C-alpha cells in the first residue's frame, strides 16, 4: 500500500490519486495540513 501525503486541492495530488486509482493501486491519503507539518527550507 502507498501512503500519499498532501492537501486535497493540490492539482499534483489530484493527478497522483487519479493515476493510483486508474492503476488499481491501494493507497491511503494523509492530509498534511491537519498534521501541523511545516516546510523547512
Catalytic site residues?
10
Residues 41, 19: Cα–Cα separation, whole Å: 29
**In angstroms, how far is CA 31 from the centroid of its own chain?**
7
Contact 10, 17 (CB under 8 A): no
Amino acid at each position: 500500500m502507498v501512503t500519499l501525503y498532501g492537501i486535497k486541492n493540490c492539482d499534483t495530488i489530484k493527478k497522483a490519486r487519479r493515476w493510483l486509482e486508474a492503476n488499481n493501486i491501494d493507497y491511503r491519503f494523509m492530509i498534511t495540513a491537519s498534521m501541523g507539518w511545516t516546510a523547512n527550507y
